[in-house]
Structure 1
Amino acid sequence: MSADEQRRVLVGKIVGVSGTAGAIKLESWTEPRMQIFKYQPWILKSAQTEREIAGCRGREQGKGMVAALPGIDDRDQAASLIGTEIWVLRSALPKPKPGEYYWADLEGMDVFTVDGQSLGQVSHLFATGANDVLVAQDGERQRMVPFVLEQYVKQVDLDARRIVVDWDPDF
């Protein structure tokens, strides 16, 4: 397996318990959020432990999600997982459609203006109500560029690990 296939992607987090039979409440950062159950096995990672688990099932419940994890059979076991991150191997995710990108694939890429000036590297992205925002980090300086293809993001070259943006470097 290549290094790219072994790379991990954070897809969610365990945020609570539900009932007494070991069900957990979780946040999913997949789109749509129920897709998290299609990407398995999960790698459950906390400050103390890391383990792989497959066969997780779940459903939407109100504004949240509830899941059953194999081997987690009571409320105390479930409670011990609160705060645990849910990761999957990048290779478990489907190939994105043309013009679509996984944030994890963009992180660490070099960012340049259309004039060739370096703005640093993508440290992370985040969602807003209107659009996603790419954060280019250059030392202590951060620039937040709306991730709007064609308008601000002119080119994404995954092979060259380079993004070209139409953005004022002084902004």
Structure 2
Amino acid sequence: MKKDSERRILLGRVTGAFGVRGELKLESWTEPRLAIFNYQPWILRSPSGQESQITGVRGREAGKTLVATFPGVDDRNMVEAMRGTEIHIPRSALPPPRPDEYYWVDLEGLDVQTVGGVKLGRASHLFNTGANDVLVVRGDRERMVPFVMEDFVKSVDFDANLIVVDWDPEF
């Protein structure tokens, strides 16, 4: 696992052009979605794998779309060439989480075991169902454990690289 300062967080991606003056449509995975503009500079990774850094990006909401202006990008052709570009930041750019709160990316890769000591595998990723977050654990098979503290998730110990869950290993 990379050190926090080296790890990158994927915040969003360029999805296309907005108008003809070089504005870009973005998909943002921050909450709220406009918060993506608070985490600059960005590391841009093109679909071909080329990386660059950018700062000074401005943005706004336009209906259901997030619209951005990148310095030096001023026409639609430049924007179309950027379609699919991912927006990353270093993990170290995120503020520390509050007590008993976690960034999903920090949980990924931790070992997961039951309160009885049965190893279930490793935390692959999390997703939200609308009702609650779900921890996807990959081991001998894939398990989906509701990430509900106290009910199913009993502890998260970064020093031990371990999440302890109250979960039937047969389920």
Please indicate the TM-score interval, normalised by the length of the shorter structure: over 0.9
Give distance in 1, aligned partners of 2:69 and 2:159.
39
Superposed displacement of residue 159, structure 1: 2.2
2:35 corresponds to 1:35 = yes
2:145 corresponds to 1:150 = no
Give distance in 2, aligned partners of 1:69 and 1:19.
14
Q: Any runs of at least 4 consecutive aligned residues in structure 1 with deviations exceeding 6 A, and if so which? A: none
Q: Larger deviation: 39-48 or 105-114? A: 39-48
Q: CA RMSD in A?
A: 1.2
1:15-94 aligned within 5 A: 15-48=15-48, 49-94=50-95
Superposed displacement of residue 99, structure 1: 1.4
Superposed displacement of residue 50, structure 1: 1.3
Counterpart contact for 2:47–2:84, Cα < 8 Å: no
In structure 2, the residue matched to 1:107 is 108
TM-score by length of structure 2 reads: 0.94
Give distance in 2, aligned partners of 1:73 and 1:158.
45
Task: Write the letter of the residue equivalent to 2:65.
Answer: G
Give distance in 1, aligned partners of 2:114 and 2:62.
44
SS at match of 1:80: helix
Give distance in 2, aligned partners of 1:125 and 1:63.
25
Task: Write the letter of the residue equivalent to 1:71.
Answer: G
Task: Write the letter of the residue equivalent to 1:84.
Answer: T
Task: Write the letter of the residue equivalent to 2:128.
Answer: A
Give the number of equivalent residue pairs.
169
Task: Write the letter of the residue equivalent to 2:53.
Answer: E
Superposed displacement of residue 3, structure 1: 2.5
Superposed displacement of residue 47, structure 1: 2.9
Give distance in 2, aligned partners of 1:9 and 1:43.
10
- Per-residue CA deviation, residues 30-87 of structure 1 (Å, 9 max, x unaligned), is 1111111111111111231111111111011111210111111111111111111111
Task: Write the letter of the residue equivalent to 2:115.
Answer: V
Give distance in 1, aligned partners of 2:33 and 2:122.
28
Counterpart contact for 2:154–2:164, Cα < 8 Å: yes
Give distance in 1, aligned partners of 2:39 and 2:159.
24
Give distance in 2, aligned partners of 1:16 and 1:33.
17
Unpaired runs of 5+ in structure 1?
A: none
Counterpart contact for 2:10–2:86, Cα < 8 Å: yes
* Percent identity of equivalent pairs: 60
Give distance in 1, aligned partners of 2:128 and 2:18.
28
Unpaired runs of 5+ in structure 2?
A: none
Superposed displacement of residue 15, structure 1: 1.0
In structure 2, the residue matched to 1:4 is 4
